[in-house]
Amino acid sequence: MGCRELTRASVVPLSLSLRLLRERQLIEKYSGLGRIKTNVQGTLLLEVIMKITRIGVGLCFLSILTGSALAQKVYVDWDKTNSFANYKTYAWGNNTPTKDPLMDQRIQQGIDMHLAAKGLTKVDANSNPDLLVRYHVGTETQQQLNTFGDGWGWWGGGMSTTTVQNITTGQLMVDIGDVKKKILIWRGTADDTISNNPEKVDKAINKALTKMFEKFPPPSPK
């Protein structure tokens, strides 16, 4: 074999080896990039999942809070034939209190504040008030005796008619009556207001009374 043929024969395997080596290097290079890319994608995916989980937990907690807030329902009713335009003074009657004097104090102060904002003046019950106010609190399912007639059930004596009404646990009820007519003319009721949590019940009472007295005095009869 001549020198030319020997050189050509040795060059071919060498060039092939170099090409194979280069391809192997490229494969390893891009394989590494692939692993890196996969790792990056996996990390990003994990971060996204964690964020979604945190958002889901937050929304769940928010829905619980919203559900609790929405659980309180306030109802207001009044005598549609009665005019509230000429009432100037009010006094407190007998209440159905809670077992917590501080809670009763918050309720009474809150009602006083809203009535004062409506232009009414609190007087003593013996000072011939225009209105008589009382509240009832349901710390457990119990019965309330509603007495109407001579004395409106708060003064005692005279002819009267008594009806029985259940007060639901956690309920706050505010009654306002016309002293001269001796009739109930306005009632506000708030469900899910009273509990054993002082901070929670304080906010619930304020919220309930605000909603109630948005509709006091009611519009004059047409």
Q: 25, 43, 71 — which closes off a domain?
A: 71
Q: Say whether both 195 and 122 belong to one domain.
A: yes
Q: Among 45, 71, 97, where does a domain finish? A: 71
159-179: per-residue pLDDT in tens? 343 344 455 567 899 999 999
Determine the pLDDT at residue 196. Answer: 72
Q: Which CATH number characterizes residue 144's domain?
A: 3.30.160.670
Cα–Cα distance measured from residue 146 to residue 184, given in angstroms and rounded to the nearest whole number: 10
Pair (117, 158) in one structural domain:
yes
In a domain, 44, yes or no: yes
Q: Which residues contact 93 (CB under 8 A, 6 or more apart)?
A: 125, 132, 133, 134, 154, 177
Alpha-carbon distance 189 to 212, whole Å?
8
Comparing 220 with 78, which gets the higher pLDDT? Answer: 78
> Is 0.75 topped by the overall pTM?
no
Question: Is the backbone of residue 130 left (phi > 0), alpha (psi -120 to 50) or beta?
Answer: alpha
Does 21 lie in the same domain as 112?
Answer: no
Q: In this structure, is residue 21 part of a structural domain?
A: yes
Answer whether residue 218 is part of any domain: no
In whole angstroms, how large is the CA radius of gyration of the chain? Answer: 39
> How many residues in total does the chain contain?
222
Which carries the bigger pLDDT value, residue 4 or residue 190? 190
Segments forming the whole domain that contains residue 64? 1-71
Which tens digits make up the pLDDT trace of 207-219? 999 999 999 999 9
Q: How many domains does the chain have?
A: 2
Task: Single out the residue in 71, 102, 130 at which a domain terminates.
Answer: 71
Residue 18 lies in a domain: yes
Whether residues 127 and 205 share a domain: the answer is yes
Q: Are residues 170 and 110 in the same domain?
A: yes
22 and 112 fall within a common domain: no
Q: Measured between alpha carbons, how far is 73 from 144 in angstroms, rounded to an integer? A: 20
Please name every residue paired with 176 in a beta bridge, in sequence order, or none if there are none.
Answer: 133, 186
Q: 90 phi and psi, to 5 degrees?
A: -150, 160
- Whether the CB-CB separation of 89 and 126 falls below 8 Å is answered with no
